[in-house]
Amino acid sequence: MINDEDEDQDALAAEYVIGTLDADERAQAQALMSVDAGFASLVRQWERRLGELQAMVDPIEPPATSWETIKNRIDTVAPTGEARPAEAPPPAATAPAVEATGAVPSGEVIDLSRRLKVWRGATAGLAALAATLVLFVAAQEFAPNLLPAALRLAPTSRLVAVLQRDETAPAFLVTVDTGTRTLTVRRVAAGIEPGYSYELWLVSPRLGAPRSLGVISNTEFTQRPLQASYDANTITTATYAVSLEPEGGSRTGAPTGPVLWTGRLVEATPKN
């Protein structure tokens, strides 16, 4: 049975990962992680859950004018040098430091009961948002004409492979656009190994030995065209694997290091 304290800590861990804590609360949560293994485990669980969701969402670059617009609005509402309103509460006092070897005193780090109420309210809002997204996806799939033209998704043909081992968070996402014959590798949970490179391989009985698809860069995204010699059936039915190679990739044209992650492509969007 989950008690209130467990719920409080779970809510705090979620807010820490999402990034809704203020600077003092975040510092206190980090201190709690250093002395409470159970809380540190909750944080890792939330990082894994939310990391998997984030991996499935394409990033959106904000317009270059966004920051200037935000600053202009701030200047309009509260010009530089304007005094705080009289009714504004003073900044919260800094919470007492946590001793490196001691337990965290109840109520002295973060008011978990207050944060739990906020979290429960946010959960209700997220549930409503999820329901809205479900309706949007259903309309897009079965009745796109009901949506405004600006919200209709252009038909594409993309396949995605989640490269992972066991039930851990995905290390890489491989996306293949069959229309443009473009391959995109997104780094998710795989760390950078100094002195080594990750190399992507196409493994198919049609080809015999594994074929290199190139070294994966240390940036979040690696994109390159697929070779014309690979036909559509080979691309869509192959296994995609990542091995750890010497820096710059295999010198032999075949995997020389351990194969760490594998995956198969699945349909991500309807075919044209």
Summarize pLDDT for 69-82 with one digit per residue, the tens.
887 877 776 554 45
Which spans in the chain are helix H?
A: 4-18, 23-35, 37-55, 66-77, 112-142, 232-237
Three-state DSSP class for residue 45 = helix
- What is the predicted pLDDT for the residue at 72? 81
Q: Please state, in angstroms and rounded to a whole number, the distance separating the CA atoms of residues 144 and 101.
A: 59
Pairing of strands 221-225, 158-163: unpaired
Q: Say whether pTM exceeds 0.75.
A: no
Tell me the C-alpha to C-alpha distance, in Å, between residue 216 and each of 58, 93, 184, 191.
Answer: 18, 47, 10, 12
CA dihedral 167, 172, 177, 183 (to 10 degrees): -150
- What is the predicted pLDDT for the residue at 198? 95
Pairing of strands 158-163, 172-177: antiparallel
Read off the pLDDT band of 247 (50, 70, 90): very high
The fraction of the chain above a pLDDT of 90, given in percent, is 22
Yes or no: domain 158-267 corresponds to CATH 2.60.40.200: yes
The domain locations on the chain are 1-60+106-153, 158-267
Give the sign of the dihedral formed by CA 56, CA 199, CA 201, CA 178: positive
- What is the predicted pLDDT for the residue at 127? 55
